[in-house]
Amino acid sequence: MSEGTGGKIASGILVAVVVGIVLYQQTKLSELSGEVKVLQKDMERVLTERAAKPVDIDLLSSGVSCKSEGFADTRLEQGTDGAWHLSANLQKANSAAEVFCDLRSADLPGFERHDDDKSVNLAGSTLFVLVQSDTDFTGDSTHPNGIQLLVKDVRGTPDSGRWVDASSSWIRGRPVSFRIARSESSERAAAFSIRFVTGSDSTATYAGGFTIREMRLRS
């Protein structure tokens, strides 16, 4: 066999090896692409299933830890029925009694939780409470008392819900909801608060109690 013929054979073998490697890689890439498409479909199915199943969590039984806060003389206790009872002495205008509830240790399946600070993404969800006053909490009709729901991040920065004026119907119970918009506080929520406030410039006072019979979080 001449040197030229041997070189041609070696060159042919090299080309065949290279072509084989290329074909093998193309086959593997095709298989990997198929696996990626399967994973994408599985993820789409999971997200679709989650979207189709709204979450409704009873916060009274989820391990939420609550305490009383504010500038007023307050006391908070949880009854055997799970409801929270707040005693408040609001003796001046714009005086607040607040029920502060920590979400970081609560069991909240279906909501994204951040590992670094245990905060929860509540953006797009709805906070619902049912409150009842022992006596009429209406206050001054021109500067009525009211309630406000807030979501707070770990720094205490609030994302406030709408203000709801108090009325005599609160003695029978008043549902209040807060549709939580997307914000830095709501995406990393550590707690929520239920704030009872006397009206600004009001001369009315309130010494009595409030009962929070329901607390729910809905997606």
Q: What is the dihedral of CA 40, 42, 44, 50, to 10 degrees?
A: -150
Domain covering 56-218 in this structure, CATH number: 2.60.120.260
Number of helices (H) and strands (E), helices first, in the chain? 2, 11
- Tokens, residue 159: 């994302």
pTM above 0.85, yes or no: no
Name the one residue in this structure whose structure tokens are 């009274």: 60
Q: With a cut of 50, list the residues of the chain below it in pLDDT.
A: none
pLDDT at 114: 94
Asked if residue 111 lies in contact with residue 64, where contact means CB atoms within 8 angstroms, the answer is no
Question: What count of other Cβ atoms lies within 10 Å of the Cβ of residue 186?
Answer: 21
Start-to-end CA distance of the chain, whole Å, equals 80
pLDDT at 39: 61
State how far the alpha carbon of 140 is from the alpha carbons of 92, 133, 164, 195, in Å. Answer: 12, 16, 14, 18
User: What is the spatial distance between Cα 128 and Cα 134, in angstroms, rounded to a whole number?
Assistant: 20
In terms of DSSP H, where are the helices of 53-194? 184-187
Per DSSP bridges, beta strands 174-179 and 84-90 are unpaired
Query: Bridge partners of 192?
Result: 101, 151
Sequence letter at residue 197: V
How do the residues of the chain divide into helix, strand and coil, expressed in percent and rounded to 5? 30, 40, 35
In three-state secondary structure terms, 43 is: helix
pLDDT at 13: 61
